Structures are given as C-alpha cells and as structure tokens.
Structure 1
C-alpha cells in the first residue's frame, strides 16, 4: 500500500511541476508521468538507502540538506531511464526534489487507512 501511495504522490508532483515549470521540466504525457513515478519509487526503495549510507558523513555535516542532492540525483537517474521525462538542468531537478520532499512530508504521514465494516 505504501508503494502505491508513494507512486501516486510522485506522479501528482510530476504533473504539477510540468504545469508550473514548463521551461525546466519536460514531461510528455500522463503515461510518462506514471512510468517515471514507478521508476523513481523503485529507485527510492533500492538505491536511496545505499546512497544515504555512503553519503552519511555529508548528510550529517550538512544537517540533512545533502539528502536533497541525493533526491535530485535520483530524479536525474529516472530521467535517464524514462524517455519523455527530462530536466533542462540539475537545478530544475533539485527544485522538483524539494517540492517532492515537501509533498512527501505532508502526505506520507497519512499511512494509516482504517476500514470499518458495518
């Protein structure tokens, strides 16, 4: 369930950023957004823990700010794997990483879904 929520949040942020930043963020269509969201979620699950462990001294020295650089690098890696999904520069990827971090902080705390049967 968490994978689906993470993918949905990523896709929503991609679509919003494509509308807000048409000059710096290239997204062909919604299918590409969905594919990029799936790829990014998989990279976050597999590669991000390794990168955070390797960069732990930098993350500690920067008080966690270096994790935004790691997120931006993962976005650039996603752009490498998904055609039709691109950034014009690393700083656009960094801006999208900041927005994704804010969206995840807001929405991923809502992981408890309660179902009541009547």
Structure 2
C-alpha cells in the first residue's frame, strides 16, 4: 500500500512540474504514473551501475556528479516513454532537483502524520 501511495504522489509531482516547467512535457496523468514507475525501475537497476562506474568523478566533484546521473536517468526515461518529453539536459537537471525536493517535503509531511 505504501508503494502505491508513493507512486501516486510521484505522479502528482511529475504532473505539477510538467505544468510549471516549459521544458518538460507530460500528456496525461496516466503517462505521469508510467513515468513514476519507469523512474523507479531505472533508479533501482540502472542508477547503481552508473554510480559504480563513475565513483572517481563523483569523489572528485564531492558528490555533485550524482546530479548529472539523475538528469541522465530522467533523459533516459524521456526517450523510453512516448508521452513524456524532456527538452534538454538542463531541463532534466532542474526537473530532477525540484522532484527530489518536493518528494522529500511531501514524504516528510506524510511521515509526520504517520507518527502521530
């Protein structure tokens, strides 16, 4: 049940960011739900491989290269899903940062309600 709620929240965040950012396009809420699922799968399977392959660069940049990896994952999702478009690396980077911040804020507020 927790996974379903997190996917729905991520889909809402994706829809909101697509509305707010002109470089990101999502056709419908169902497309945003598919994007949330695909991003989750890419973060599980592809992202660890990229992190291991880029450990020297990540250490050299004090971890800032992880933002680049997140943007690449979002661009990969844009290539994989027909109704989801990303206009370039910088839009993917901004989308990644904003999605992380919004997800953290919403997840933190949801945890506070669970503990009460």
* TM-score (normalised: structure 2): 0.83
Cα separation, 2, equivalents of 1:74 and 1:9: 19
Cα separation, partners in 2 of 1:52 and 1:6, compared to 1, 3 Å: farther
Tell me the C-alpha RMSD between the 2 structures.
Answer: 2.3
Match of 1:99 in 2: 98
Does the Cα contact within 8 Å between 2:13 and 2:103 map onto a contact in 1? no
Q: Indicate if the aligned counterparts of 1:71 and 1:94 stay in contact, CA closer than 8 A.
A: yes
**Pair 1:57–1:9, CA change in 2 (3 A):** farther
Q: CA deviation at 1:64?
A: 1.4
Is 1:35 the equivalent of 2:30?
A: no
**Distance in 2 separating the partners of 1:6 and 1:61:** 33
Aligned positions, number: 114
**Displaced runs of 4 or more, over 2 A:** 1-10, 103-110
Does the 8 Å CA contact 2:31/2:84 hold for their aligned counterparts? yes
Q: Which has the higher helix share?
A: 2
The TM-score with structure 1 as length reference comes to: 0.82
Instruction: Give the equivalent residue in structure 2 for 1:19.
Output: 19
